[in-house]
Structures are given as structure tokens and as C-alpha cells.
Amino acid sequence: MYNKLTQMSSLLSFAERIDITLWLAVLTGAVFVISILVIIVLVFSITNRRWMKRLFGNSSKENLKDILQEHLERVGVVQIKLNDVENMLRDVQKASLTHVQKVGVVRFNPFDDTGSDQSFAIAILDAEDNGLVISALHSRERTRLYAKPIIRGQPGKYPFSGEEKKAISEAGRRKAC
């Protein structure tokens, strides 16, 4: 009988150990699930506060209606400023058509008795190919400068030399802003 009691006692202690182990596993799992839930709630809370802060800014208003009214007023002010910027940009774009946008340079040697390509023709054009061409002819005795108007890529009163035409062509290949 003693053996039977010892066996039963050891079975009970084994069952108690299993129950304790199971109870600890369930308790650990519950603590883990609760911890995850707390982390999720904290993340959403922090994210929600950031979202609210982004949406409402540093508004001191308490009422949602007042906050929205304040934001509508801000949007109105921003829209007015945006319209002003668009008008200024349109004016700048229109004015920029007359600014120097394309330049072409050609160096050449017009005389056989000079050493290198000291002479040049430079074409300076706006977006509509209006501007001028400046030519400098360098010889041993002197350098001469000539300026001729360009109207829509064509000569005005004075015909262009071959080098001037080449400089205008080079400038015309450049893209206007």
C-alpha cells in the first residue's frame, strides 16, 4: 500500500507541476498580449496627436468649429498670396523674353598676316531671336569693332558676314529659357 501511496503522491506532484507550468504559460501569454495591446494603443495615441497637431497646428482654440474657421481664414490668405505669386511669375516670364538667353561665339582669322584666331563674332539674342552681333576684326595695326542689330534672326540695315551668320546660327541652336 505504501507503494501505491507513493505512486499516487508522485502523480499528484507531477500533475501539480503540469498545472503550474500551464498556469505560468497562460499568465506569460496574457501579459504578452496585454503588453502588445498597450504598445498599439500608445502608438496610435502618439500618431493621433501628431496628426491632430499637423491638422490644427498650434491653435489655442478649444472648439472644432473655431479651429476650422481659423484654418479657412489661413487658406484664404494663402490663396491670395498664391494668386499674387502667380501674377508676378507671369510678369517675370513675359519680361524674360526680352532678356539675353542665347549666345553664340565664333573665332576666326580674317587676314593672312596675323598669327591666330584673334578676331571673333558674338551673337547675343533674346527668346525671340532679337539682339545684336558684335564683330571684332584684329589685324597687326589695329582692331575694329562692329555691332549690328538682329531682328527675329534677320539682319536689320546691315548685312551679316559669314562668321556673323555662323555666330547667330550657333546662338539659335541654344535653347531659350
Residues 44 and 106 in one domain: no
Looking at the domain assignment, is residue 10 inside a domain?
yes
Q: What is the pLDDT of residues 118-133, one digit of tens each?
A: 889 999 999 888 999 9
Q: Which residue has better confidence, 48 or 139? A: 139
Looking at the domain assignment, is residue 96 inside a domain?
no
pLDDT exceeds cutoff 60 at 155: yes
Q: What is the 3-state secondary structure (H, E, C) of 21-55?
A: HHHHHHHHHHHHHHHHHHHHHHHHHHHHHHHHHHH
If you compute the radius of gyration of the chain from its CA atoms, what whole number of angstroms results?
43
Q: For the whole model, what pTM was predicted?
A: 0.52
Question: Residues 151, 153, 159, CA angle at the centre, nearest 5°?
Answer: 75
Q: In terms of residue numbers, what domain contains 168?
A: 102-173
Looking at the domain assignment, is residue 69 inside a domain?
no
Looking at the domain assignment, is residue 78 inside a domain?
no
Looking at the domain assignment, is residue 164 inside a domain?
yes
Looking at the domain assignment, is residue 70 inside a domain?
no
Can you tell me which residue has the cell 501511496? 5
Share of the chain above pLDDT 70, in %: 72
Looking at the domain assignment, is residue 15 inside a domain?
yes
Q: What is the pLDDT of residues 41-53, one digit of tens each?
A: 877 777 666 666 6
Q: What is the pLDDT of residues 69-95, one digit of tens each?
A: 887 888 888 899 989 999 999 998 888
- What average pLDDT does the structure give for the chain? 80
